[in-house]
Structure 1
Amino acid sequence: MERNVGPLDARIRVLVGIVLCGLALAVARGVVGVPLISSLGLGIAGVVLVVEGSLRRCLLYQLLGINRCPRETK
């Protein structure tokens, strides 16, 4: 699978993923008053975003035929 996530999009994904992981930890420790099961969902979403941003590959973009990665010039 080739890269299909642009550099700005990748940075935003990593940043949002880190924030979601931090929020998941806060929920798990009881700092935020929401149900504990939402901690698992937030954690999974955060990890997925960090991995997608780091690898610059998105399965959903692939399925929809979206490519936001700029063309490399030779």
Structure 2
Amino acid sequence: MKTNVGGIDRILRIAVGVILIALTLMGTIGAWGWLGLILLATGIFRTCPLYSLLGMNTCPMDKGGAR
């Protein structure tokens, strides 16, 4: 899959994903907090299927060409 999640987007996804999972484990929020797994996975793998469907990309362009 092509990388389409850039630096700041990636950091935010990982941070919010970890926070949601932690809040769910502590019982502060309900089962919806497990959606943090999706954010965590897309941040780690730098690929978001929804971005692909919408034609979005937050990765900076390489000056040397393709990655």
Name the amino acid aligned to 1:55: F
Q: Deviations over 1:19-62 (max 9, x none)?
A: 000011011xxxx3x6xxx32x211x111111100111101100
Please say if 1:46 is aligned against 2:31: no
AA aligned to 2:44 is: S
Structure 1's consecutive aligned runs of 4 or more residues displaced over 4 angstroms after TM superposition are: none
Same amino acid, percent of matched pairs: 38
The runs of 5 or more residues in structure 2 that have no matched partner are none
Alignment-derived partner of residue 63 in structure 1: 53
Tell me the TM-score normalized by structure 1: 0.79
- Give 1 or 2 for the bigger CA radius of gyration: 1
How many residues are matched? 64
Normalising by structure 2, what TM-score? 0.86
Structure 1 unaligned spans of 5+: none
Separation of aligned partners in 1, 2:55 and 2:42: 16
